[in-house]
Structure 1
Amino acid sequence: MGGLKITVIGGGSSYTPELLEGIINNQKLLRVEELWLVDIEEGKQKLSIIEGLSKRMIQASGYSIKIVATFNRQEAIKGADYIITQLRVGQLKMRRYDEYTSIKHGVIGQETTGAGGYMKALRTIPVILDICNDMEQLAPKAWLLNFTNPAGIVTEAVLKYSNVKVIGLCNNPINYYKKFAAAYNVSMKDVSINFTGINHLLWLTDLYIRGESRIKDIFNGWSNIYEAKNIPDFGWDLDFLRSLDAIPCGYHKYYYQSDRILQQQLEEFKRNETRADQVQKIERELFKIYQNPKLSKKPKVLEQRGGAYYSEAAVNLIKSIELNTKEIHTLNVRNNGSISCLPINTCIEVNCVVERHQVTPLQVGQVSPQIRGLLQHVKAYEELTVEAGVNGDKGVAHQALTLHPLIPSAEKANAILKEMFMINKKFLPQFKI
């Protein structure tokens, strides 16, 4: 092991310093030789700022890692061991359109689910498959670690339409481990969690602390459940949790508490203060901080961006692959029968055993009706979204959005699609709009 080449596509992202910090903290084991940061011309200024900060961070660490910032994606991919995707097609401008268009039509506007997440997926699928085509030719042995949202849909597109070794990643699971370890004052290694679901629709079906089940602590009123900072904090009804017999992730609030969230979003919409507006403000502040020539470490304010600890998830995964540790990670992978009520070839998010040559999902088996109903519903939407995103079929696109639980009717789906397709025209070559 040694001399790794890691390529980050979307290298000008504000998240990159988080990733670099993780690499630096584990460099003695990983021995990364080259880190390539890839972006597009529109992201030139951000990429330049991230390149400068990255080089200062490396210099301060005392390690010798070659940093290369480039617009040449093929050169960056060539011979890479790991390609990490954290791209945003259309940048934050299109995210804002996604949210505002959704809310204007009276439905929830969100980056990874509903109409907003749907449009982000359609923009992203052609790009990720183009990247995979480059990988098949220039780095056929490389692993693709996908953080690009909606991570489950994007990863499923790769699983179905490429030969690339792909793993989808999210920072949600590792945040649960950290939260419960802190709450029980134990090491993360003393925490074990059973997960069932798909990305951003993930249920915790059991929680073990040093081998003892403690999930009933939640049902009995222990309220310190981890909540992502980018999700409204309305709390959970304990009677509902007991009857669900599981802990829902924060993103379930868009389904279980949709009335309250939509009302809040409508109020934010009137003030031009949606989450997209907040993120743009945080991004501007971050890049001002990043430009400080004296800054040589990840600033604390980055955690407000919503992706805290994602680098830890990525670096821990790379370590497991390189060292062949056979450790358990919670990942987005091909189902292969792990969740029996979902199609074998779809993408799920569950605990997996990681080896150098393969990642194997652990068996989940049957799931309860209260989980199965919503899970199958959203997964069917994701399947159709992948099909529409690859083939550019407007009929399938309409069926996909109509099927989403946050869209009330085919008529509403059609109205949203018409407007979103016109706004996104240049990002949807597959639809020939």
Structure 2
Amino acid sequence: MKLTILGGGGFRVPLVYGALLGDHAEGRVSRVTLYDTDADRLTAVARVLAEQAEGVADAPVVVATTELDEALRGADFVFSAIRVGGLAGRAADERVALDLGVLGQETVGAGGIAYGLRTVPVAVELARRIARLAPHAWVINFTNPAGLVTEAMSRHLGDRVVGICDSPVGLGRRVARVLGADPDRAWIDYAGLNHLGWLRGLYVDGRDELPRLLADPALLGSFEEGRLFGAELLQSLGAIPNEYLHYYYFNREAVRAYQETEQTRGAFLHDQQQGFYARLRDPAAPALATWDRTRSEREATYMAENRDVAGAGEREESDLGSGGYEQVALALMRAIARNERTSLILNVRNRTALAALDAEAVVEAPCLVDANGAHPVAASPLPYDAMALVTAVKAVERAVLEAAESGSRAAAVRAFALHPLVDSVSVAHRLVERYMEVHPGLAYLSGP
């Protein structure tokens, strides 16, 4: 099989290739095409992959190109991990929002909307190109904001685009581990949108083990989300929220912490990755070891401000290794290509999974996956507080899609104004003005 990675010069690509190296079954991916607009980044990542492949006799062949059409032709799977505007764009998103007193995180709140407005037009053009050049390919989307971008692409690719995220995977595995359960045998009851979901049950042999966790404050305090949210809130909710819900439940504290930090997350990653790619311009630099050291630092500092707010301390080693979007991608490809039926939490069109949303809305939910794709499992209704957030954020996503399609500035303002974490229509207007100033690519928002 041929896999094409859009954003092939991205820092996390070696994670995907590392997962592929462990697959030796018949019908595995045998050729990986890396596509990126930045030739230097492609060269650096190709060096890391070459060192990863040393000693692996059946390692997938790697080809790098800056020609999109060449990369897409003949692809069986297309992995989309682009970043429109790069990490400099992310840093600008964060700073504009924080200067106006609202959250600037790249997928949540104002920053996520700005990122979506930049990314959706590009993702739509990619979807059209894929539909024309590789109509039988399955698209696995990791481009953020993952749910929004997947929905935009699904309007052109239908169910052949599936969004993935490592957050619910990591959450489910951490909860299973704390409960002494095998995460590969547990059924995780999870529902919501990308970066806006709740784990509501963990079933082992038909028995829900979550009530046992919720009844034990000490056990709740023994893993990442328990320390992040606190036992009292989790017991009140009767569920374990995705870590990104910390931005909603503790928004004031999170905004203040991000305003007070010396460097935003986007700025930190921008500087860190610039250093990584600069070091790999030296042909003598050990590519894989340099990448691995950089990755470890990146993971250890993930959501550091939120953990400071919660007094959660440093991330534990067991929490660092609990996710793995690359394993989700590999399991998804195996299930489709070989009909190896499995269950995964994915971003797919809703159909009837969440009754409050329409069939075309992309949701994040457990799916049964086989050769015909991913099929969401109908979920029990979310409680009113959770559904209020889900429907409000879905309305925001739809306004972003409208703005991206029509060029309507009013729709862009509406997207910001409707978001639960933007507390003023006046601020929404100023956000649009400032983002258009710092991102020339948003000049398309010139319509009424």
TM-score norm. by structure 1 comes to 0.91
Answer yes or no: is the 8 Å Cα contact 2:107–2:113 preserved in 1. yes
Q: Which residue number in structure 2 is paired with residue 215 of structure 1?
A: 210
With over 3 angstroms needed to count, the CA separation of the structure-2 counterparts of 1:225 and 1:300, relative to structure 1, is farther
CA deviation profile, 1:315-374 (whole Å, cap 9, x unmatched): 111111112122111000001111001122111000011111232100014221121111
Answer yes or no: is the 8 Å Cα contact 1:244–1:370 preserved in 2. no
- d(CA) in 2 for partners of 1:431 and 1:162? 25
- The letter for the 1-side match of 2:386 is I
With over 3 angstroms needed to count, the CA separation of the structure-2 counterparts of 1:391 and 1:225, relative to structure 1, is farther
Q: Which residue number in structure 1 is paired with residue 134 of structure 2?
A: 139
Within the alignment, does 1:93 sit opposite 2:91 as a pair?
no
Map 1:398-417 → 2, pairs under 5 A = 398-417=413-432
Alpha-carbon offset, residue 284 of structure 1: 3.8
- The letter for the 2-side match of 1:387 is E
Q: Which residue number in structure 2 is paired with residue 353 of structure 1?
A: 368
- d(CA) in 1 for partners of 2:248 and 2:357? 20
Gapped regions of structure 1 (runs ≥ 5): none
Q: Which residue number in structure 2 is paired with residue 171 of structure 1?
A: 166
Matched residue SS, 2:75: coil
Identity of aligned residues (%): 28
- The letter for the 1-side match of 2:344 is H
Within the alignment, does 1:282 sit opposite 2:272 as a pair?
yes
Q: Which residue number in structure 2 is paired with residue 343 of structure 1?
A: 358
Matched residue SS, 2:220: coil
- The letter for the 2-side match of 1:240 is L
Question: Which one of the candidate residues 405, 417, 431 is aligned to 1:390?
Answer: 405
Alpha-carbon offset, residue 226 of structure 1: 5.2
Alpha-carbon offset, residue 56 of structure 1: 2.5
- d(CA) in 2 for partners of 1:429 and 1:225? 48
- d(CA) in 2 for partners of 1:213 and 1:374? 25
Within the alignment, does 1:362 sit opposite 2:373 as a pair?
no
Q: Please list every run of at least 4 consecutive aligned residues from structure 1 whose deviation after the TM superposition is greater than 4 angstroms.
A: 161-164, 288-298
Q: Which residue number in structure 1 is paired with residue 10 of structure 2?
A: 13
Matched residue SS, 1:109: coil
RMSD, matched Cα = 2.2
Q: Which residue number in structure 2 is paired with residue 55 of structure 1?
A: 50
Alpha-carbon offset, residue 293 of structure 1: 5.1
- The letter for the 2-side match of 1:263 is R
Map 1:23-422 → 2, pairs under 5 A = 23-40=20-37, 43-163=38-158, 165-220=160-215, 221=217, 222-224=219-221, 227=224, 235-268=228-261, 271=262, 273-284=263-274, 286-287=276-277, 294-296=286-288, 299=292, 301-306=294-299, 309-422=324-437
Alpha-carbon offset, residue 39 of structure 1: 0.5
- d(CA) in 2 for partners of 1:376 and 1:432? 27
- d(CA) in 2 for partners of 1:414 and 1:322? 47
- State the aligned residue count: 420
Alpha-carbon offset, residue 58 of structure 1: 2.2
Matched residue SS, 1:277: helix
With over 3 angstroms needed to count, the CA separation of the structure-2 counterparts of 1:394 and 1:225, relative to structure 1, is farther
- d(CA) in 2 for partners of 1:65 and 1:199? 31
- d(CA) in 1 for partners of 2:347 and 2:103? 25
- d(CA) in 2 for partners of 1:212 and 1:372? 25
Answer yes or no: is the 8 Å Cα contact 1:193–1:206 preserved in 2. yes
- The letter for the 2-side match of 1:215 is L
- d(CA) in 1 for partners of 2:169 and 2:446? 40
- d(CA) in 1 for partners of 2:414 and 2:99? 21
CA deviation profile, 1:11-65 (whole Å, cap 9, x unmatched): 000101101000001133443221110111xx22211101122123223322242
Answer yes or no: is the 8 Å Cα contact 2:279–2:285 preserved in 1. no
135-144 or 367-376, which deviates more: 367-376
With over 3 angstroms needed to count, the CA separation of the structure-2 counterparts of 1:225 and 1:322, relative to structure 1, is farther
Gapped regions of structure 2 (runs ≥ 5): 303-322
Matched residue SS, 1:59: coil
- d(CA) in 2 for partners of 1:152 and 1:421? 23
Alpha-carbon offset, residue 164 of structure 1: 6.8
Answer yes or no: is the 8 Å Cα contact 1:14–1:287 preserved in 2. no
With over 3 angstroms needed to count, the CA separation of the structure-2 counterparts of 1:267 and 1:78, relative to structure 1, is same
115-124 or 369-378, which deviates more: 369-378
With over 3 angstroms needed to count, the CA separation of the structure-2 counterparts of 1:226 and 1:281, relative to structure 1, is farther
- d(CA) in 2 for partners of 1:167 and 1:250? 22
145-154 or 237-246, which deviates more: 237-246
